[in-house]
């Protein structure tokens, strides 16, 4: 498959994520949209990594793992994202306990 | 060594005073330190002619190309002497002024003195800038803590103005630093070869920086407000010495460094300065507050100095040198009088005062002499300086084609000066006493002492200005030499 | 005796010492001590002055010997302004007048001012001594700068003495007016000095006068005009004369010394000193002559209708000074100086006499309330009459000779000047005898209380009057015209070296003797007729309650000149200053400064609103920012 398809898919996912973050007020949905954006980025990393791997394998001197660092990043991102989810969900739970709501507009305390 | 000693005495005493709790002894220590400084600065002019004594050079910030290079040349000697004379006078004349936490007040005053002396002796641009700020920062605190009712607003205005000026100056100095192969020394600045037109921008940057401090019309509006709101002791420092920093800065760091634009734009600057003289004199006529009146009178006098610098001849230059000293002495005298009146009658409004001559004849006589010096009456010091400056302005045919017009317009200010000064004398001292003044008595001994010293200096320098002129003769020639050098 | 000129500095030194002693000791010294110190200092100067005049008169005197150089006042490289004195015929003559008349007035003052408190008495004598010091500096100065020192010094003393009774606000205003008017003149003087320095490179008289020939016509004209502006300020000429009548606020001896005999003649001295410059600038000469003439007439018309005894004398002074300027303007320098001398005697006498009258009348100055004083005050009366005859120009009193010389000089230049001058002389005769008749003749018109107190003044007051009366009567014989006595003009011979340069340049056309005699006789007859008319008219003066109207009223109000000045100069200037203070300073410049501050504050308050605290809006902004970056990266960079 040509790389353009991946790009279009990732971009669509990212835009959906942004639109969700901007448009929705439910913090859980915002959280999911952030995940969506993260995964769009992951998708791009994997896709380009595969592409570069294929291209550099043609070069005789290169090592077999050439161009795979992007996929490595993806693992890191997934691990960090998982950690973030735990923290983030914990915050959401605390917020719900405090405000009995999952509406982000309640959280305008940054102003003060 | 002398310059370093001059610097260290007030600096150390200043820091030491922060630790002193007893306010009475803080006052005495401050006075003692200022007198020691005075003695040493007199030694620096009279006895220690050996150049090695007047010069000190040490490593400071080698990575930046900046050295701790201080030197007492003629101009420095003159202004250090002015600083050194002023502080004891200020301390003596305001001896009975009450300040809350006085030890801190005196500590800041002395730090400011150290900064001032540093400014006048620094031969390295970064060092100069450092001392410049050292002199100013204590003043911000002095004004904002011990000032009048609207002190915060006034201090803020003062701070913004002077800080903007300082930054312009820093910008200019840094530009010079790169042009001078990463050196801050004055000699290196002098050696810079500018391509024609390149230095015009620089000239205006530096000029604006010093013009704010002097202040030259139309950068002056901080001055009346600040003078009005500061405690009078600080006002004396501000107007007696600090405005000289601006004049001094022009003479040391602008005119000799960028002579070509100083020459080209001399007419423009002179025009502004003289317009400012007339303007300030006219505005002074309408003032009711004594402090504001003196402030505007000071602006008018400084305008003349600024104009005379750009007249580019010996008479004008020597006149400026002399007048820097004379104006400092005279205006401190005026402030002492204002302070005495304010302490006694608790008002500075001329409309509320009157008949003080009946209550305080000694004050009236001393004031009249000082006021006459301020309007440049012959046989007072003001005349000599102003005569030379006007003469320089008139004789500056080489630098400007407008010299006759400039001189004629500038001379109008001597008429206006007579108007506002005599108005002031009349409203405050003559006539019948008012409710406010009816209860007052004559001035205290300390004020009398300080004013008598000032009056003696006024008369002495008015009749024998020659010793002062010979102190600055060499440096005037050097500056003029630089101004003519590239033509 | 040979070296007395080198001791010339003693002359100003004595008054200076007197100033310091009286000034510092005004609280501790007794009144008699103060008076003795004050008068003694002037007497000492007077004695030295006489010795100097003797020396100067001796045939061996060369002008260059008269320069006494004390020290360098200002030096700018090679340009040096020395503190030096110039002793020659002109300055020594003035020394005599100043110290002589000054001494008499000091003696007079010891009695006149005796009611003052001791410290004010001391202050008075200190000022008076300082004045004499300044005046001596003015005439002795060896260059224009030293002259200027004295020039400003006398202005200052005039200010201090006019405002001597400082509790009175009007007096202070008069003092202030005098100083400011003088400063306007100083403006011209200083500018002229700078001009001279720029063109000649020296301010010493010999250098400047030697260089006069090589100066351009325009330069000479401008320098002399500017100097004349200074002279007009100091010597109360149109348009700067208005301070002198107001200066009568000072004590009467001060009016006599400063505002009649000495200080106001400074301008004449200065022009006489620089006569060579003026002779070479005919345009200025015309200006000087016309100004002098107009002032003479103008002031005389005002004097016709004044009722304050001192005001009449003040306007008469202005008028007489006008004659002196006319003399200078037409090149009759000797005549002008001659008139300075005679005027010093008779005007001092008039003022002192007026002082004696005022003293007797308990500070009453309005002549409508006087009359018939000749019985009670015989000495004052006789001396006053002699002075009136002198000023009116009746032969053989001194005023006749000096005024005649000026008028004769005017005739040779332009007969119109002469006729107008004669008209002024007639007015002088009229108002002087109006004054005399209303004061001393007729019946007494004052209160009973005043009448009861009328008395002749003590000896310290009458002694100066008598001396001055003698001088006023005989001083004219120092300058007898050629018509009467061959070589009779002693003063002219004495002053010849000073005016030699100008004499050479002047076209020599002298009046023939018959014309001169006809002129003298006709003027004398006219003057006598005027005197008799005034005498008869005003010796029967009775108090009338009618308001004056028409021209008389205008004259009584001094042609409304003060009001015009006030409306045309003072008020607009004040309003302009107020405008600058209120609008330009506070609203405009401060407005800009504060406006910048306020704009920044306002701006930051608006920008602060962006920080809504809404996470969503932050993200939106972030996204927009990223998009903007993309846009820049894609479209702008390429």
- Residues in C whose CB is inside 8 Å of some CB of A read 611-616, 618-620, 623
Task: For Cα atoms C455, C459, C462, give the angle at the middle one, nearest 5 degrees.
Answer: 75
Mean pLDDT computed over C580-584: 84
For chain C, say whether B397 makes contact (Cβ under 8 Å). yes
Decide if pLDDT at C545 tops 70: no
For chain B, say whether C581 makes contact (Cβ under 8 Å). yes
Residue B32: predicted pLDDT: 93
Mean pLDDT computed over B380-408: 82
Which H/E stretch holds residue B283? helix B266-285
The better pLDDT of the pair B112, B403 is held by B112
What secondary structure letter does DSSP report for B241? I
Can you read off the two tokens belonging to residue B464?
A: 């024998």
Would you say C196 and C230 are in contact if contact means Cβ atoms under 8 Å apart? Answer: no
Would you say C479 and C449 are in contact if contact means Cβ atoms under 8 Å apart? Answer: no
Q: Which residues pair with B349 in a beta bridge?
A: B289
Decide if pLDDT at C515 tops 80: yes
The pLDDT tens digits for B445-474 are 888 899 999 999 999 999 998 888 888 888
A11, A14, A15, A18, best to mutate vs chain C, most C CBs in 10 Å? A18
Decide if pLDDT at B6 tops 50: yes
Cβ contacts of C381 within 8 Å, gap of 6 or more: C373, C374, C440
Contact C187 B286 (CB under 8 A): no
Mean pLDDT computed over B151-179: 88
Residue A111: predicted pLDDT: 54
Residue B398: predicted pLDDT: 56
Mean pLDDT computed over C105-132: 89
The ipTM (two decimal places) reads 0.91
Would you say B390 and B411 are in contact if contact means Cβ atoms under 8 Å apart? Answer: yes
The pLDDT tens digits for C418-445 are 999 999 999 999 999 999 988 888 888 8
Q: Which residues of C touch B464 (CB under 8 A)?
A: 71
The pLDDT tens digits for B170-205 are 999 999 998 888 888 888 888 888 877 778 888 998
Q: Which residues of C touch B218 (CB under 8 A)?
A: 589
Decide if pLDDT at C391 tops 50: yes
Decide if pLDDT at B397 tops 70: no
Tell whether omega for the bond before B218 is within 30 degrees of 0, i.e. cis.
Answer: yes
Q: Which residues of B touch C71 (CB under 8 A)?
A: 464, 466
The better pLDDT of the pair C446, B324 is held by B324
> Nearest-CA distance from C628 to chain A in Å?
15
Q: Could you tell me the CA-to-CA distances from C127 to B362, B373, C98 in Å, in that order?
A: 15, 18, 15
Band (pLDDT 50/70/90 cuts) for residue C509 is: low
Residue C1: predicted pLDDT: 43
The pLDDT tens digits for C160-176 are 998 888 888 788 888 88
Contact C585 B283 (CB under 8 A): yes
Residue C558: predicted pLDDT: 80
Residue B487: predicted pLDDT: 46
Do the two chains A and C touch, given a threshold of 8 Å on CB pairs and at least 3 pairs? yes
> Nearest-CA distance from B475 to chain C in Å?
13
- Number of other residues whose CB lies within 10 A of the CB of residue C71: 10
The pLDDT tens digits for C297-356 are 999 998 888 888 888 999 999 999 999 999 999 888 888 999 999 999 999 999 999 998
Per-residue pLDDT of chain A (112 residues), as tens digits, is: 788 999 999 999 999 998 998 888 888 898 899 899 999 999 999 999 988 888 887 776 777 777 788 888 899 999 999 998 999 999 889 888 888 888 877 766 655 5
Chain A residue closest in CA terms to C623: A18
For chain B, say whether C20 makes contact (Cβ under 8 Å). no
Contact A104 C616 (CB under 8 A): yes
CA distance B413 to B301: 9
Can you read off the two tokens belonging to residue C236?
A: 């109360």
Poorest-pLDDT segment among B144-153, C184-193, C540-549 = C540-549
Q: Could you tell me the CA-to-CA distances from B476 to A83, B255, B309, B314, B376 in Å, in that order?
A: 75, 12, 10, 7, 22
Neighbours of chain A (3+ CB pairs under 8 A): C
What is the model's pTM?
A: 0.87
Q: What are phi and psi of C80, to 5 degrees?
A: -120, 130
Q: Considering chain B, what percentage of its residues have pLDDT values greater than 70? A: 98
The pLDDT tens digits for B300-354 are 999 999 999 888 888 889 999 999 999 999 999 999 998 888 888 888 888 888 8
Poorest-pLDDT segment among B354-363, B421-430, C317-326 = B354-363
Highest-scoring range by mean pLDDT, B130-144, C477-491, C528-542: B130-144
Decide if pLDDT at C72 tops 70: yes
Mean pLDDT computed over C196-202: 87
3-class secondary-structure state, position C366: strand
CA distance C133 to C9: 11
Mean pLDDT computed over C33-59: 89
Residue B480 falls in which region: left (phi positive, over 0), alpha (psi -120 to 50) or beta:
alpha
Mean pLDDT computed over C569-579: 86
Mean pLDDT computed over B4-13: 91
CA distance C154 to B373: 16
> Nearest-CA distance from B456 to chain C in Å?
13
Poorest-pLDDT segment among B423-437, C201-215, C360-374, C495-509 = C495-509
Residue C637: predicted pLDDT: 62
Which residue has tokens 């000064």? B421
Q: What are phi and psi of C82, to 5 degrees?
A: -80, 155
Contact C153 B160 (CB under 8 A): no
Cβ contacts of B352 within 8 Å, gap of 6 or more: B345, B434, B436
CA distance B61 to B129: 14
Residue A96: predicted pLDDT: 87
Residue C316: predicted pLDDT: 92
Do the two chains A and B touch, given a threshold of 8 Å on CB pairs and at least 3 pairs? no
CA distance C481 to C561: 38
CA distance C260 to C346: 9
- Centroid of chain to Cα C353: 21
Can you read off the two tokens belonging to residue B75?
A: 């101009």
């Amino acid at each position: 498959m040509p790389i353009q398809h991946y790009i279009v898919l990732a971009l669509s996912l990212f835009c959906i994520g942004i639109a969700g973050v901007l448009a929705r007020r439910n913090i859980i949905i915002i959280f999911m949209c952030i995940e969506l954006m993260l995964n769009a980025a992951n998708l791009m990393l994997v896709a380009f990594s595969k592409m570069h791997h294929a291209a550099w394998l043609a070069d005789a001197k290169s090592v077999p793992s050439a161009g795979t660092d992007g996929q490595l990043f993806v693992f890191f991102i997934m691990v960090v994202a998982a950690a973030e989810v735990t923290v983030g969900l914990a915050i959401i739970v605390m917020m719900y306990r405090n405000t009995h709501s999952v509406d982000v507009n309640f959280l305008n305390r940054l102003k003060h | 060594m002398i310059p370093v000693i001059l610097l260290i005495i007030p600096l150390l005493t200043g820091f030491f005073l922060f630790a002193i709790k007893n306010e009475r002894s803080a006052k005495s220590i401050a006075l003692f330190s200022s007198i020691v400084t005075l003695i040493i600065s007199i030694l620096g002019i009279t006895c220690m002619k050996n150049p090695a004594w007047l010069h000190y050079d040490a490593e400071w910030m080698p990575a930046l190309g900046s050295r701790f290079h201080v030197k007492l040349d003629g101009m420095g000697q003159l202004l250090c002497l002015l600083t050194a004379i002023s502080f004891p006078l200020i301390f003596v004349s305001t001896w009975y002024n009450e300040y809350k936490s006085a030890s801190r007040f005196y500590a800041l005053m002395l730090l400011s003195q150290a900064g001032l002396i540093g400014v006048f002796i620094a031969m390295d641009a970064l060092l100069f800038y450092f001392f410049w700020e050292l002199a100013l920062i204590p003043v911000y605190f002095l004004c904002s803590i011990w000032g009048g009712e609207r002190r915060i607003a006034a201090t803020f205005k003062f701070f913004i103005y002077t800080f903007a000026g300082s930054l312009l100056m820093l910008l200019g100095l840094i530009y010079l630093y790169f042009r001078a192969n990463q050196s801050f020394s004055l000699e290196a600045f002098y050696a810079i070869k500018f391509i024609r037109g390149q230095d015009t921008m620089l000239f205006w940057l530096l000029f604006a920086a010093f013009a704010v401090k002097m202040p030259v019309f139309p950068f002056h509006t901080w001055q009346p407000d600040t003078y009005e709101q500061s405690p009078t002791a600080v006002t004396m420092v501000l107007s007696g010495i600090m405005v000289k920093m601006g004049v001094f800065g022009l003479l040391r760091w602008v005119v000799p460094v960028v002579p070509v634009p100083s020459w080209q734009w001399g007419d423009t600057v002179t025009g502004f300065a003289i317009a400012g003289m007339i303007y300030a004199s006219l505005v002074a006529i309408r003032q009711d507050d004594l402090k504001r009146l003196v402030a505007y009178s000071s602006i008018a006098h400084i305008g003349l100095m600024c104009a005379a610098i750009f007249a580019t001849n010996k008479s004008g230059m020597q006149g400026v040198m002399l007048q820097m000293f004379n104006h400092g002495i005279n205006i401190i005298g005026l402030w002492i009088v204002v302070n005495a009146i304010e302490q006694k009658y608790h008002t500075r409004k001329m409309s509320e005062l009157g008949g003080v001559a009946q209550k305080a004849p000694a004050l009236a006589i001393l004031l009249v002499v000082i006021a006459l010096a301020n309007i440049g009456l012959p046989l007072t010091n003001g005349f000599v300086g102003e005569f030379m400056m006007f003469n320089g302005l008139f004789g500056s045919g080489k630098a400007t084609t407008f010299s006759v017009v400039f001189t004629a317009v500038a001379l109008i200010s001597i008429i206006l000066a007579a108007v506002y000064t005599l108005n002031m004398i009349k409203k405050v001292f003559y006539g019948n006493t008012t409710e406010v003044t009816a209860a007052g008595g004559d001035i205290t001994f300390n004020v009398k002492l300080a004013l008598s010293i000032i009056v003696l200096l006024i008369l002495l320098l008015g009749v024998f200005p020659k010793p002062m002129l010979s102190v600055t003769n060499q440096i005037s020639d050097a500056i003029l030499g630089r101004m003519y050098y590239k033509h | 005796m040979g070296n007395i000129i080198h001791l010339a500095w003693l002359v100003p030194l004595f008054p200076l010492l007197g100033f310091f002693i009286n000034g510092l000791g005004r609280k501790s010294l007794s009144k008699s001590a103060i008076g003795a110190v004050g008068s003694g200092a002037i007497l000492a100067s007077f004695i030295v002055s006489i010795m100097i005049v003797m020396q100067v008169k001796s045939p061996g005197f060369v002008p260059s010997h008269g320069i006494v150089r004390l020290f360098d006042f200002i030096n700018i490289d090679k340009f040096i302004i020395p503190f030096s004195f110039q002793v020659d015929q002109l300055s020594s003559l003035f020394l005599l007048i100043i110290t002589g008349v000054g001494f008499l007035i000091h003696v007079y003052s010891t009695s006149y001012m005796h009611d003052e408190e001791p410290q004010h008495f001391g202050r008075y004598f200190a000022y008076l001594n300082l004045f004499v010091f300044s005046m001596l500096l003015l005439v002795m100065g060896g260059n224009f700068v030293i002259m200027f020192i004295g020039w400003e010094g006398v202005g200052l003393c005039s200010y201090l003495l006019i405002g001597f009774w400082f509790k009175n606000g009007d007096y202070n205003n008069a003092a202030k007016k005098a100083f400011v008017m003088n400063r306007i003149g100083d403006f011209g003087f200083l500018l002229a000095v700078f001009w001279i320095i720029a063109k000649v490179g020296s301010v010493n008289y010999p250098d400047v006068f030697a260089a006069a020939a090589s100066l351009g016509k325009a330069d000479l004209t401008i320098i002399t005009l500017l100097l004349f502006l200074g002279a007009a300020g100091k010597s109360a000429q149109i348009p700067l004369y208005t301070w002198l009548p107001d200066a009568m606020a000072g004590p009467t001896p001060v009016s006599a010394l400063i505002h009649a005999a000495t200080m106001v003649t400074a301008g004449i001295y200065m022009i006489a000193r620089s006569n060579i410059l003026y002779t070479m600038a005919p345009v200025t000469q015309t200006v000087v002559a016309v100004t002098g003439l107009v002032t003479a007439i103008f002031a005389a018309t005002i004097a016709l209708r004044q009722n304050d005894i001192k005001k009449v004398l003040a306007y008469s002074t202005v008028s007489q000074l006008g004659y002196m300027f006319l003399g200078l303007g037409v090149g009759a320098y000797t005549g002008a100086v001659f008139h300075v001398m005679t005027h010093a005697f008779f005007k001092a006498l008039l003022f002192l006499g007026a002082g004696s009258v005022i003293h007797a009348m308990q500070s009453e100055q309005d002549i409508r309330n006087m009359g018939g004083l000749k019985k009670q005050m015989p000495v004052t009366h006789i001396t006053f009459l002699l002075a009136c005859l002198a000023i009116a120009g009746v032969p053989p009193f001194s005023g006749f000779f000096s005024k005649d010389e000026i008028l004769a000089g005017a005739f040779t230049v332009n007969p119109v000047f002469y006729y107008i001058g004669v008209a002024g002389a007639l007015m002088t005769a009229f108002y002087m005898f109006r004054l005399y008749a209303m004061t001393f003749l007729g019946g007494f018109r004052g209160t009973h209380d005043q009448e009861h107190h009328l008395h002749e003044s003590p000896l310290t007051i009458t002694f100066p009057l008598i001396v001055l009366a003698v001088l006023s009567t005989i001083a004219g014989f120092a300058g007898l015209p050629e018509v009467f006595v061959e070589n009779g003009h002693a003063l002219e011979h004495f002053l010849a070296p000073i005016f030699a340069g100008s004499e050479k340049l002047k076209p020599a056309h002298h009046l023939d003797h018959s014309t001169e005699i006809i002129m003298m006789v006709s003027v004398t007859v006219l003057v006598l007729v005027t005197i008799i008319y005034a005498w008869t008219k005003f010796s029967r003066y009775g108090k009338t309650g009618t308001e004056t109207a028409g021209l008389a009223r205008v004259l009584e109000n001094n042609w409304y000149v003060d009001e015009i000045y006030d409306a045309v100069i003072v008020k607009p200037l004040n309003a302009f200053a107020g405008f600058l203070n209120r609008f330009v300073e506070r609203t405009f410049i401060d407005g800009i400064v504060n406006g910048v501050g306020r704009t920044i504050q306002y701006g930051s308050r608006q920008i602060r609103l962006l920080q809504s605290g809404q996470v969503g809006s932050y993200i939106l902004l972030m996204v927009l920012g990223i998009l903007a970056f993309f846009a820049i990266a894609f479209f702008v960079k390429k």
